[in-house]
Amino acid sequence: MVKSNNIKKFLHFRKQFPFFIYKGFDSQYSDNGLRVQFHFNLADKFSFHPVLIIPFKEFFIKDNIRKEIIDNLLFNIGMIELISYWKAACPPLIRIECGSLNEEQVTWWKKIYFYGLGEFFFLNSIDTDMDSFVNIESSPGLAFSPFLIHLQESAIIPIGGGKDSIVTFELLSKNEGNIPMVLNPRPASSGTVMKRGYYYDSVFEIIRTIDPVLLEMNNQGFLNGHTPFSALLAFVSALAAIMTGRKYIALSNESSANESTVAGSDINHQYSKSIGFEGDFRWYLNKYITPDVEYFSFLRPLNELQIARIFSGFKSYFNVFRSCNVGSKTDTWCGKCPKCLFTYIILSPFIDAGHLESIFGKSLLNDPDLWPVLNDLTGITPSKPFDCIGTVDEVNATLVHLIRKEQAEPLPELLIQYRASETYMRYQHSDLQSFLDQFNPDHFLPKDYERLLRSYLHD
């Protein structure tokens, strides 16, 4: 983990760029689909115009794409999209010119921004608080009204191409009328939906573009870092549900996502995948957009080990799934990052070494260069990697299980080093089965979905 001391730059930029404006958005719906362009302004010195494109599909419901309905969703998508541009200079004021927010909404948005930028603030050594990091002002009299809408009892399923969304996709495959949703398709996500016989015409597709002005500013040394992407995904999936007439949005975030990345703090790389965000988003969606859409994570009651066990039964996806951020542009596993090593470890109790080596291109547990990464994953270092990975307890329990399992064989290099560590001594009595028997009650699954998930755990 590399931290940058950018507090002076943060304070300087806030003086140089004292305000950020959300000026509005334009949308056009045609036979080609929906095109949306947002308009942001940084202190009258930089303008940003990011675009969302949703190609037309036959399953769109035209009556649900009326302006009075869609504009509410698009306004809120712009509210979460703007944070990617605001963070370049972190102005002390955000001015909303295309809609009005009441005090309750302002408080809600400040919470999403502050915790969603927790990693950004931490890695840039920016010391601030929720009260002072930004003020939000909006134009009075331009409030968007929540709406009621009739929706059918099926789901939008966001697909990222990793093992988690594959598990959700497979377990819900028998439910009729579900639609997979893919944001910025890549081989892993497209390959996933094709494995179940879905092709272009049967997938809700979104193309999101970043304004190149922001990319150039990053090259010039403006502030940069992690933003709450899954919060954007939440609002976009709500748009997908409305446009297709689906009542449910079934995410694939697990209970492990609730653990803080930095021990003893609220800083969580996966904040917008956490149960806290999920509850907050459900409340906002119900009160300010529509009470008719149900947003929940289907895998929330499960931990990473349970998901890995279920995934291990879907062998047809072994050559398709990818979770490595480093290798995402080339559709590969880099074999060097925390996400690669974590995924390799968590699958090891359920997939034999030969299959794992064919997936990742080598035995990651025999790579001594990954020892520092393993230290991060097992809690030897004070902070977990800033990545979407499981808990420290899950990783340690898995490693202990692997050592017990392979006692009669020469242990892989990393397991030999781990067995000699104090961390191993602390976890040596942990029981993998105790993790496999869990069912976290802190979730928002509708009863039918909960029964379905429980039935797969007991198969």
**pLDDT tens-place string over residues 146-159:** 999 999 999 999 99
Q: For residue 273, which of 395, 398, 387 has the smallest C-alpha distance?
A: 387
Q: Tens of pLDDT along 423-456?
A: 999 999 999 999 999 999 999 999 999 999 999 8
Say how far apart CA 77 and CA 79 lie, in whole Å: 5
Say how far apart CA 436 and CA 303 lie, in whole Å: 8
- Determine what percent of the chain is predicted with pLDDT higher than 70: 99
Q: For residue 392, which of 346, 453, 448 has the smallest C-alpha distance?
A: 346
Contact yes or no for 48/82 (Cβ under 8 A):
no
Least confident of 62-76, 232-246, 406-420: 406-420
- On average, the pLDDT of the chain sits at 94
Q: For residue 88, which of 161, 178, 186, 9 has the smallest C-alpha distance?
A: 9
Q: Give the pairing of strands 135-138 and 93-96.
A: parallel
Based on the number of CB atoms within 10 Å of its own CB, is 145 exposed (0-12), middle (13-18) or buried (19 or more)?
A: exposed
Q: Give the pairing of strands 152-158 and 179-183.
A: parallel
**CB contact burial 425-449 (16+ within 10 A = b; e otherwise):** eebeebebeebbeeebeebbbeeeb
Q: Tens of pLDDT along 143-198?
A: 899 999 999 999 999 999 999 999 999 999 988 899 999 999 999 999 999 998 88
Instruction: Give the position of tokens 């072994």.
Output: 318
Say how far apart CA 387 and CA 62 lie, in whole Å: 39
Contact yes or no for 114/127 (Cβ under 8 A):
no
Phi then psi for residue 136, to 5 deg, are -120, 125
Where residue 292 falls among pLDDT bands split at 50, 70, 90? very high
Task: Give the H or E element holding residue 153.
Answer: strand 152-158
Where residue 458 falls among pLDDT bands split at 50, 70, 90? low
pLDDT of residue 382: 76
Instruction: Give the position of tokens 């494995």.
Output: 195
User: 42: helix, coil or strand?
Assistant: strand
- Does 1 have pLDDT greater than 70? no
Q: For residue 427, which of 389, 381, 394 has the smallest C-alpha distance?
A: 394
Task: Give the H or E element holding residue 73.
Answer: helix 67-81
Q: For residue 302, which of 453, 139, 458, 103 has the smallest C-alpha distance?
A: 453
Query: What would the two tokens of residue 415 be?
Result: 């397991």
Task: Give the H or E element holding residue 297.
Answer: strand 294-297
- Does 2 have pLDDT greater than 70? no
Contact yes or no for 44/61 (Cβ under 8 A):
no
- Does 238 have pLDDT greater than 70? yes
Task: Give the H or E element holding residue 28.
Answer: strand 19-30
Q: Provide the whole-model pTM.
A: 0.95
| Phi-psi label, residue 174: left if phi above 0, alpha if psi -120 to 50, beta otherwise | alpha
Contact yes or no for 223/6 (Cβ under 8 A):
yes
- Does 408 have pLDDT greater than 80? no
Task: Give the H or E element holding residue 450.
Answer: helix 447-457
Q: For residue 227, which of 237, 240, 216, 214 has the smallest C-alpha distance?
A: 214
**Residue of 266 and 57 predicted with greater confidence:** 57
Least confident of 95-104, 267-276, 435-444: 267-276
- Determine what percent of the chain is predicted with pLDDT higher than 90: 86
Say how far apart CA 239 and CA 242 lie, in whole Å: 5
